[in-house]
Each structure stands twice: as C-alpha cells, then as structure tokens.
Structure 1
Amino acid sequence: MAPDPVGSGGRLRVLAEDGGPASPVQGVPDLAAEVARREALERPRWVWAATDEVYPWLLDRAAVRPARCHDVKLVESLLLGQEARHRRPRSLGAAWARLHDRPEPPDAPEPGADDQPVLFAADRHHLPPGTDLLDALVAVHAAQLRRIADGPHPERMRLLCAAESAGALAALEMGREGLPWSAAVHDELLTGLLGPRPAAGARPAVLGEMTLRLQELLGRPVNPDSPAQMLPAFARVGVPLHSTRSYELRSVDHPAAALFLRYKELSRIHAAHGWAWRESWVRGGRFRPEYVVGGVVSGRWATRGGGALQIPRLLRSAVVADPGYRLVVADAGQLEPRVLAAMSGDKGLARAAAAGDLYAALAQDAFGGDRPRAKIGLLAAMYGQTSGEAGQLLAVMRRRFPAALALVESAARTGEAGGIVRSQLGRTSPAPSAERFFAEGGEGGDGGADPGDAASPDRRAARSWGRFTRNFVIQASASDWALAMLAALRRRLAEIGPAPRLVFFQHDEVIVHTPLDLAPRVEAAVTAAGEEARRLVFGPTPVPIPLQTHAVECYADAK
C-alpha cells in the first residue's frame, strides 16, 4: 500500500505468494478506512516501506491496528546482514537502486513525531524522478522474498522478518498508548530523594549537601560531576582509581567512595528521570517513549531519548495503573543462560534449566552447591572472562558442559578471525570493517581472553571482537525469542479485546495495562505467548523459558 503525499487517499495492490502483482492497482479516496475494512474481512499481511512512517498515519485517521505487516526497511536491514552487507543503506530507495544496479542513496533521517504525510512521497525514499512509489515497493518486496528463500535457513528468516515487523507495530502502539505515570508520586519520590525542585541549572539540595560532604572527606573543593577532578582528589587521599565507574568505586574502602556512589546514583536520576524529563516525556498521565526497533545490532530495541529502557527501580513506584486496572508485569528470568542451553543442546545445562533456578541447579551439579560461583562461571562462559576466579570456574564449565562451551567458543574464534555469526533465527553480527580488522590483526583465536593479558595490542583487539561474537549469538537469539513472544502476545491480546494494551517492553520484560477483571486472561496469554515463542524459535527443546507474571497496581510491587 502507498498513501498519497497529501490528503487521505492512496493506492493498494494485492500481491501473489511470490510477491508479484495479483491485481491491478486500486486507488481509494480514504485509504485508512479501506485498510480498516480489509483488515476486518481478510486480515492480510500489509506491505509498506516503513512502519514508523505509515502506521502513525493510519492510527491518526482510523485507529486501525493491522494484525500483520511486512516492513521493507526492517526486513532489508536483516537481509543485508545475512548477506554480510551491514553498512549499506536500508531504505526503499536504496533497495530499489541495488535491484537496478544503480548508485545507492543514503538513508533518509528517521521520521519525527511531527512529520507530515509528505514523507510518503517518492523523494522521501530517494527514488529517481518519475519512479512510481507503489511499483518500487512491489519490486523490492518481491526481491526480498526471493532473497529470504535463497538464504541458508529460509523458514527461520521468514519468522525473524515477521517478528521484527510485528515488533514495529507494537512499538508504535506502545508509544501511542503510553505507560501510566503518576506525576504526584513522581514528585513525592524526587522530593524525598533530592529535596525540593531546584531552579533551572542548579543542583538539588541533597546533591549540594553531598558535594560539600565529599569535599570535606577529600580535603579540597571538587566538582563530583567532573572525573578530571575526582580522580586526582581520590589519589591524594591514597585511593588511586582508573576511572569513576561504579564497579571500581564499589571495591574501594573509603567513606568518600560510598558517598560518591550514592551521589552518582541520585545525580543520574535527576538528569535522566527528574522534573525536566517528566515535562518532556510524560503527557496526559502517560510516559510516551519513541522506541527504535532493532536499534542495537543484537536485535534489542533502543529509544530516541526518554530512557524508556532504563527506568530506575527507585522510580518504579510512579508507574501506577488507572483505577479499576492492573499492570500485568512479566519477565523471563535467566533468559540468556536458558537460550544458551536451548541453542547448544547441552544435556547438563538443559537439566539445570529445567530445575527452576538455573544457577542453583548448576551449583549443585558442578560447583558444590555454591550458587554465586556457579553464576560467575556461567557468565564467564557467555562473556569470555578468563582472569582470576572466573578463569578457574570457566575450566569447570568446559569439562561439565562441553556442548554449551563449544558453541560460545566457536563463536569467539569466528569473531577473532574476522568472521560473522548468526542468531538462532539468522540475525547476523556485523563484521569489523576491513580497515579496522586488518589493522587490529584479527586471525584465528583460542576463544577469547581478557584485554589485560600480555598479548600484543593487535591480538587483544582480535580477542575483544571474539568476546563480542561470543555473546552476540546468545543475546541476539534471546532477542529472537523476545520478539516472537511480543508478536504472539500482541495477537493474543487482540483476541481478548481492545481493552488490554501493551504499554512497555524491554529485552526480557513486558507490561500490559488491563482492566482488573481481564488480568487472569492476560496472564494466561503472556504464559502462552512465551511458550509459543519457545517452540517457534528453538523447536522441540526441553529447556523451559518461563515468564513470571504479576498483576499489580504499581510497577514497583512486581519485583
């Protein structure tokens, strides 16, 4: 479908299974109304250039919520990755140019909330003058279907493209619906943490008091927001630091370190989720972020500001359901270790995953009941840590869970050699650029090592990329499952009715805002969606990926 550049009309064309035209072009005076009519009768898969361009237009005019779509821009990005061409433009115009062996135009800027319908015009997609937008869309879509069919695992890639496109629909809907947010509770929390709201540009009272106390402990005036001042100040009191990162400060036995950690936490809340943030992002009692589907190479989402994916625990009390409603909060605990177990087929790790608390079962199986050591060992396997205790525990993991370790270490070696790895459904890691890779000496490897070893800088750089690919196969496959779960849940919620609405999603967690009487059905839908995604993505694996659900009035009560 292709909306007209102005007005409410547009053009439609029915497509065959192979993507070719199956009907003449049909012009309609009210495209949104026609989409709503066909959606109710046929529930087709709509093909359009980009969901973030077309879907807001539909929602504004008819509030229609299509069940399925094929987002050409997102699918192009996935296929470029499959073909090891990550850095190529992914717009409709670029895809059309590649199809006709023409120079590729750069991608247009991402659309903003106030963009007008002109963004549907051919020049928005950098098509040559005189090129028909609908013809270009049909041709590129058909070519994409052929590329999917010619890939190494067509069925998996079809599922990934469908899930990615469904995620784009959900992302726009969640941004429109918004996460319920109580300004009164938010004010109370901020005042309790930071003191009264300060004047613009001034530090809150609590941060000002903490600054004075830090200066007393360090024996000189310092600006806590300046690492260049804090590092020498700590050195003068006998605490040498490499950085002011929180993990390093936690290892320091000095009262200024603990105070500085608390300062950093509160300062971050003030900057990222304080009063000014609320004025920018909370409207009508709803936090309305702008999600970016596939914003991270692993398939995780990002946001265009607003910090939707990092709501601090201290502020979750401000997320409050409307009267008569509940928040059904669901999260998949220990997702990435379970994904590793499912992908690798490691029988020992699968047994631990089936026991409930994976780390506790792992501890009983291989680490003498010591759960913290078991967790360190498994994280070392997934992230390539080899120094200190992690290296010793990694050796235990390698002996007891050989299939799991073989999977991640093979991915690490591939990355060190400059190769690419793929998720369960086929999302592909970017390769280091040729210039960077050859400069860094990527060639073969032993599965990753810490960058602080005695190897040459070139070797350490190659190992660093190996650690990236080691975790990519797990994190990207977790994203595969999460997107499939989100698509299944969106469909199941639509079957319940219009009232339950998805309002939040991040990596392994989802929130549905629902009338109280429908909360049990929503919880059942969440559980079923998680199980459906497990079967679709990983097949007949014995590894469970449970979603724990909580129906609560306040987000903070779910943890």
Structure 2
Amino acid sequence: MRIVVGAMGPGRVALVDPSVSLEPFETVTMQEFPAVVRALESRHPRWVWADTRRWYPRLLAEGVRVDRCHDLVLAAALIDHSTTTASARDGGAHPRPAWLPAGPAEAGQAGAVVPVASAAHAALFDLGDFDGETQAPEAAVTDRPRDVRSVPIDAVLAEHARQLALVTASERPGALRLLVAAESAGALIGAELHAAGLPWHRGVHERVLEGELGPKPSPGRKPARMEEFAAEVRALLGAPAVNLDSQVDLLKALRRAGIQVESTSRWELREHEHPAIEPLVAYKKLARLFSANAWSWLDEWVVDGRFRPDYVPGGTATGRWATSGGGALQLPKNVRSAVVADPGWSLVVADAAQLEPRVLAGLARDEAMAEAGRGRDFYGGIVGAGVVETRDQAKVAILGAMYGATTGESGRLVPRLARAYPSAMALVDRAAADGERGASVTTLLGRSSPPPGVEWRAAQSRASQPEATAADERRARSGARDWGRFTRNFVVQGTAAEWALCWMAGLRSRLMAIAGDAAVPEQLAHRSGPVFERIPHLVYYLHDEIIVHTPRERADEVAAAVADAANEAGRLLYGAFPVEFPLDLAIVESYALADA
C-alpha cells in the first residue's frame, strides 16, 4: 500500500491511495497528521512525500515512527541523472517538475555490473509496489516553493508517477528500485539519528579540553597551551609577531627561517627538519580542536546529554552523507571519550573492515581479489597471495588503484595489483577512461556521476582547436586526468555508500524487532525522544561505521543483528558472489573504548 502525502490548501494535508483513487481519502490539519499516520502505520504503507527531512521530524517528535517511505526529492536526484534512465528521458516524455530542488548531481559539479536478482530485495524493502505506472493528474506547480510541504497533492502524485515510470523504463529497474528504496530508508534513518541524538557526556568532554588546551579561556583569548606553543614557534622562527593562524604570514616566516614549503599542511611540514616543526604541528592540532569541538561547540550542539547533528543523506555526488552543521562526520578521536552510554545502556560500535576494496572485488566479480579478503584482513590477504611484501604496501597499492596514483610508492605497486587482480583493475581503469572523455560512470545500483563543468569542457575544446597552444593542451590533459581520478573512485565509493545504506536499512528493521524492557531512569526519559527511549536505536553513522545505543541486556542480540545486516547487505548487492564484509564489533560504554 502506498499513501501519497501533499498539501490541500493552507495548513491542510491530503492523503491519497493511488491504487484506489487519485482523490484524497482523508484531509487533515498538520496538528492531526501524526495521529492519522500512527493509525495507518499498522497497515504497513509506504509513505510517499516530497522530502523526509520536512515531514518526518514532526512525526518523531510526537512518538510516531514509520517503517518505509519514498522520498521524492532524493529519488529524483538519482533517477533524473542515472545513465540507466537516459534513453527513457531523452524523448522528453517525463519532464522534471520545477519545484524539485537541485540535487548533488546538479549542484556538485566541481561500466557497472548488474546486481544479481534476489528475492531478498522484496523481503527487505518490499519493492513490489514500485512496479508499473500510476495514472497521474497534471502537475499544478511551476514555481519551486520554499517549503516542499506546501507542494499540492496533485503535483506530488504526478511526480511519484513520473518516477515510477522512469524506473520501470530504465535499463536495470530492479537495481534502481533497490537504490531508491535504500536511499529513502536512509532519509528516515537520518531524521531518526537527529531525533535520538548521540549520547554525550559534557563533563568528560570538558576534562578532555582542559587536558589538551588548558582552562577555558576568556572570550577573545586563545587557550593557554596554544599560547605556549605559539610563543615557542615564534621564538624558534625568529618571528615574534607572526600570526600562526594566517597561512600567508606563516609561510613567509617559515621560508625566512629556511624551511622551503609550499603549504602549511602537517604532512608537508613533517618532511622538514627544524626545531619549530614539532611545536607548530602541536599548535595546529590544538587550533583545530579549539575551533571545531571546544567549549563553544559544546554550548551550541550538546543539549540535555545529546549531540544532534543535521545529517544530509545523499548529500554528496557519490551518495555519501554530509552534515549541515555540527561536524558529525569529522569527530576527532580525542573527544570520542565523551560519547558515553546512558546508565543501564551500552554502545554497539561496528565498522566495516576495508569496505571499499571489498566493494571493488564484488563490482568487478574478481574472484582472486575477493579471496584475498575471505575470513581475514584484506591487506594481509594481498600479502599472503605474494602480490606485495608488507601490509603497508598493500594498503598503499589499493589506495593508489582506487585514486589513480601513477607516481611514488603507489605508482610502483599498482602494476602488481593489475597482474594479480586484472578484472578489478580493468573496472577502475575503464571508469577513469570514461571520465577522461567527459562521460558519466554509474554505480552498481544506478547512481551516476555528474558531468564535468562548463570550464572543463571549454578547456577540452580549446585544446582540440588548430590554434591550440602547448599550455592549452597541458591544461586539457591535466583536467582530463583529474576528472578520470574522480570517476575512477566514484564507482567504488558510490557502491560502498549503497552497501552501507542497505546495511543500515536492514539493521533498522532488526532493531525495531528487539524490544528493550530496561527501566528508564526518570531523569533520562525522553532524552532520545519518545520513539527510542526503550528500544535499541542507531545513534551515529560515518560512511562505514555505525553506533547503536541499546539497553545493556540486549547488547549481544544487537551485535548479532549488526553482523547479520552486514551479511544481508552483501547478498543484496552481490548475490552468491563470494565477497565478505566482516565487521570490527565492540560492545562498550564509551566510544573511545571501541578501538582499545
């Protein structure tokens, strides 16, 4: 069952079951909407709405959780730019409505194999209701509204029907259905992560800050430890007035001291021997902590023992998530000790070991590469196969293969990988060649890379003209190689993001089936919101890593569910192909202990 949600005049919400009628079966106010959703959820519908980030938070605040949805904004970003729907779109029979906002494929301009069909697709995501076309009325919206909740129900119905028609007409409808379902599930998860929040102990965080930076400084002042390192650097450089926070000033001071650097990055600084390097690197590390995660960050982002970042599912061209505030995807290790489970609860922390190389092995159906990671550390398996001598060499070689390294240690080792794993290397080489000629590449399930921008194409065009200079040709070659490196990595990183979405979606379903019966202390009640106060729930996601907050007595059961969901995600994407996705799993009271 699908229930399409849209506006029916100011402040009113219309609900339509398009399998029965295109007329609303119910019209309610925004205040009444959560209660109606709660009642209808027992029928296990797929909610179809413009944007989960606009509709779902209100429901969660009222204690209403939905099982599945179709997010039209996220789905359009996939469907309207996938190479698998190109022929269906070329005729102009399915024009994109003006109210849809730009997605990463439009705003982010700076040879995949077909997944094995599996009955598990339908079991996890109930994909059957994506089949066929739905009759649609004429869209009534031409201007993009500021709030997609105001999109009229007729326009929402029309967009839903347009998307179903394009998916059905695509070259790989099964894969694209799975991708749209997984992306929509990710939208629900992103809203739930914000609603539940990541448990955060302010006192622990403050002790970390005092240990690293010294006492909290007065407004406008730097912490004492930073000032100490700054004074030492200035003395050693013989530059008593240099502003260490100004890259221009610092570069001048370094060069005057005989340190010939092109940037102030820690990696380049450490290539030089000078007594000022160590205190300067220490200063930069503390400056990063002070600017990104110090006392002002705590005041803004940690409320009532929870850190609630604003996740943006599908926020990058590859499908990786982004955040619109809080820096959740860049939490430094020295503040992770502040992520502490509530009394009586535990954290189940899991990350997928060497995810991207395993994804590449499955994408290319490279059995030798898959064997390297079977039942063991992937890089150790490459060493064991005699491809390289050390684990560090294996890691450097794999990164070089996925990012297009041609020089240095990576460039030296990549040819060994090509001999050992020809199918995998041929896949990324083809993706790079496609990018170099300006073509889009596509992930396993159907997400396609954005085309290069106008300046890139202009540079390629200039280089092909009879009057082109040597400089024009160099710029064009350099631009082509850069874009080829992007597309080379896109197919791997994008497919890894698809695996992670399937992992989390499967885990989300499992967690809701694990009832938590732990008593919740009164002072902790509702910190995670009314939906999650007694059940295990996801509280953090970082590309290939997740954290579940669970009643302590359910921790082992949750850990097993996390591992089962990872195995299922592998089967969804690769069927019977024998690529494994092992996890590093830990049940801890503090995030910092997960790596212990």
TM-score (structure 1 length as normaliser): 0.88
* Corresponding residue number in structure 2 for 1:206: 225
How far off its partner does 1:106 sit?
A: 7.3
Correspondence 1:466-485 to 2 at 5 A = 466-485=484-503
CA spacing shift, 1:28–1:106, aligned 2, 3 Å: closer
The 8 Å contact of residues 84 and 431 in structure 1, kept in 2 or not, is answered as: no
2 CA distance for matches of 1:160 and 1:517?
A: 34
* Corresponding residue number in structure 2 for 1:37: 39
Whether 1:66 and 2:66 are equivalent positions in the alignment is yes
Letter in 2 for 1:2: G
* Corresponding residue number in structure 2 for 1:12: 15
Deviations 1:71-112 (A, max 9, x none): 0111011112215999xxxxxxxx9xx9786983573999xx
How far off its partner does 1:224 sit?
A: 1.3
* Corresponding residue number in structure 1 for 2:120: none
Letter in 2 for 1:12: L
* Corresponding residue number in structure 1 for 2:137: none
How far off its partner does 1:337 sit?
A: 0.6
* Corresponding residue number in structure 2 for 1:493: 511
The 8 Å contact of residues 416 and 443 in structure 1, kept in 2 or not, is answered as: no
How far off its partner does 1:247 sit?
A: 1.8
Aligned identity (percent) is: 44
CA spacing shift, 1:555–1:414, aligned 2, 3 Å: same
| Higher mean displacement: 532-541 or 298-307 | 532-541
Deviations 1:9-44 (A, max 9, x none): 63211123xxx846653224622111111112x111
The 8 Å contact of residues 98 and 143 in structure 2, kept in 1 or not, is answered as: no
Of residues 228, 249, 253, the one that matches 1:229 is 249
How far off its partner does 1:257 sit?
A: 1.7
1 CA distance for matches of 2:388 and 2:38?
A: 60
CA spacing shift, 1:299–1:201, aligned 2, 3 Å: same
Of residues 268, 272, 284, the one that matches 2:304 is 284
CA spacing shift, 1:105–1:520, aligned 2, 3 Å: closer
The 8 Å contact of residues 431 and 484 in structure 2, kept in 1 or not, is answered as: yes
The 8 Å contact of residues 500 and 515 in structure 1, kept in 2 or not, is answered as: yes
Whether 1:191 and 2:210 are equivalent positions in the alignment is yes
1 CA distance for matches of 2:498 and 2:428?
A: 17
Please give the secondary structure, in 2, of the residue aligned with 1:15: coil
* Corresponding residue number in structure 1 for 2:182: 163
The 8 Å contact of residues 85 and 170 in structure 2, kept in 1 or not, is answered as: no
* Corresponding residue number in structure 1 for 2:576: 540
The 8 Å contact of residues 99 and 140 in structure 1, kept in 2 or not, is answered as: no
The 8 Å contact of residues 364 and 370 in structure 1, kept in 2 or not, is answered as: no
* Corresponding residue number in structure 1 for 2:116: none
Deviations 1:190-230 (A, max 9, x none): 00100111112211111011100000111112111111111
The 8 Å contact of residues 417 and 442 in structure 1, kept in 2 or not, is answered as: no
* Corresponding residue number in structure 1 for 2:53: 52
How far off its partner does 1:258 sit?
A: 2.0
* Corresponding residue number in structure 1 for 2:6: 2
* Corresponding residue number in structure 1 for 2:121: none
1 CA distance for matches of 2:475 and 2:170?
A: 36
Deviations 1:410-438 (A, max 9, x none): 00000000000011111110010244223
Whether 1:107 and 2:143 are equivalent positions in the alignment is no
How far off its partner does 1:542 sit?
A: 0.6
How far off its partner does 1:126 sit?
A: 3.4
The 8 Å contact of residues 441 and 462 in structure 1, kept in 2 or not, is answered as: no
Deviations 1:339-392 (A, max 9, x none): 111111112211101141111110122345311112111111111011122222
Please give the secondary structure, in 2, of the residue aligned with 1:81: coil
* Corresponding residue number in structure 1 for 2:422: 402
Correspondence 1:71-470 to 2 at 5 A = 71-82=71-82, 104=98, 107=101, 125-126=144-145, 133-221=152-240, 222-440=242-460, 456-470=474-488
1 CA distance for matches of 2:229 and 2:24?
A: 71
2 CA distance for matches of 1:56 and 1:545?
A: 32
Letter in 2 for 1:258: E
* Corresponding residue number in structure 2 for 1:551: 587
2 CA distance for matches of 1:506 and 1:368?
A: 30
Aligned length: 522
2 CA distance for matches of 1:246 and 1:386?
A: 23
Please give the secondary structure, in 2, of the residue aligned with 1:155: helix
The 8 Å contact of residues 259 and 272 in structure 2, kept in 1 or not, is answered as: yes
The 8 Å contact of residues 97 and 159 in structure 2, kept in 1 or not, is answered as: no
* Corresponding residue number in structure 2 for 1:448: none
Unaligned regions of 5+ residues in structure 2, if any? 105-139, 465-470, 516-533
CA spacing shift, 1:66–1:122, aligned 2, 3 Å: farther
* Corresponding residue number in structure 2 for 1:118: none
RMSD, aligned α-carbons? 2.7
2 CA distance for matches of 1:83 and 1:488?
A: 27
1 CA distance for matches of 2:477 and 2:103?
A: 37
Deviations 1:161-195 (A, max 9, x none): 11111111111111011101111001100001001
CA spacing shift, 1:240–1:135, aligned 2, 3 Å: same
| Higher mean displacement: 21-30 or 252-261 | 21-30
Please give the secondary structure, in 1, of the residue aligned with 2:445: coil
